Amino acid sequence: MKIGMPIAYAGGFKETVAELQDYEAAGLDAVLLPEVYTFDSVSQIGYIAAKTERVELCTSILNIYSRTPALLAMTAAGLDHVSDGRFVLGIGASGPQVVEGFHGVKYDAPLARTREVVDICRSVWRREKLEHHGKFYDVPLTPERGGSGLGKPLKLINHPLRADIPMVLAALGPKNVALAAELFEGWEPIFYLPERAHDAFGDALAEGRAKRSADLPPLDIAVDTRLLVSDDADAVEAARQEVREHLALYVGGMGARGKNFYNDLAVRFGFEEAAARIQDLFLGGQKAEAAAAVPDELVDGISLIGSREHVAERVGAYREVGVTTLNAAPLARTHEQRVADVATLKELSS
């Protein structure tokens, strides 16, 4: 398995990269940079590309609403060029909190929009004259859709380094997961519990793979996790508490009742009663109680926290269900220990 690591999107570019070079030396394979409503991740990835030599650089994620599909394609081609072919375009629907709340763009039809985005990006990278007339994107814009009629099909001026820049879809819901398995090189789920992954994702993955083009490589399953390799009981419990609080925030507070994708996932994992209680407590302002209500099985199942032997066992569980990349956020208190933990994980996953 490859080892990836999410990096902070709210800190300074220079400080982040200074530490990242140590992780690269320790064997890190990829870095994933989210984009929410701080500095854009594109600027930071360009800076990282100039300061690193080997690691893959992935957006995790660029939402599909705030940039046109052609701009996403241009951006990916540029980042792939400056990184000497190390870029991976991670996209996703995000959610109405960011798309509508920050960008002021209507959040609608994520599945259909994503299909069109994929088609347009790959056409741009192949340097085809771009002509796409879909439900959501009309290129060139026709008079029937409000255009002047003066636009003509254009192709990218530059020659992309690669015509097949890898694309990863961040997805949780069954329809989005099926779409990832059908159209994308990679799929990035969050809160991945190996022992219950088949129940939550199996049917959707099978549906998508049945439609997958033979021209695409095997699907890279890149799961998010938390990492601490330690025999110190206090340190382990502190790290587990961080995971509890993180889960409580997402399962309990990321969305309204009935419109929380992460709560829905906890239910699909089999924690229906706990998911409802976590949400009730969190939305009621009882955040500590919500964290305490997160089941131990979920905390320990989605993370790599404990002794070397325990972490090795959990790595085996991920490998057994087909995970190919572990996107591990190190939780150790010192930079030196975080780098050491990444090196250990790289060894255990080889």
pLDDT digits (tens, 9 = 90+) for 90-120: 999 988 888 999 999 999 999 999 999 999 9
pLDDT digits (tens, 9 = 90+) for 217-226: 999 999 999 9
Secondary structure element (H or E) that encloses residue 33, with its range: strand 30-33
- How high is the pLDDT of residue 19? 87
Strands of 47-105, DSSP E = 56-59, 62-63, 87-92
The single-letter DSSP state of residue 270 is T
- How high is the pLDDT of residue 255? 81
pLDDT digits (tens, 9 = 90+) for 229-271: 999 999 999 999 999 999 999 999 988 888 898 999 999 999 9
CB 120 within 8 A of CB 132: yes
Residue 10 has pLDDT above 80, yes or no: no
CATH 3.40.470.10 describes domain 2-231+303-349: no
Residue 152 has pLDDT above 90, yes or no: yes
Residue 348 has pLDDT above 80, yes or no: yes
pLDDT digits (tens, 9 = 90+) for 30-85: 999 989 888 899 999 999 999 999 999 999 999 999 999 999 999 999 999 999 99
Listed by start position, the domains of the chain span 2-231+303-349, 232-302
- What φ, ψ does residue 220 adopt, rounded to 5°? -80, 120
CB 292 within 8 A of CB 244: yes
Cα–Cα dist 239/299, whole Å: 10
Q: How many distinct helices (H) and strands (E) make up the chain?
A: 14, 12
Instruction: Please give the average per-residue pLDDT across 82-89, as a whole number.
Output: 98
Residue closest to 297 by CA, chosen among 260, 276, 271, 318: 271
- Binning pLDDT at 50, 70 and 90, where does residue 153 land? very high
Average model confidence (pLDDT) for the chain? 95
Return all residues near 244 (Cβ < 8 A) that are at least 6 apart.
291, 292, 294, 299
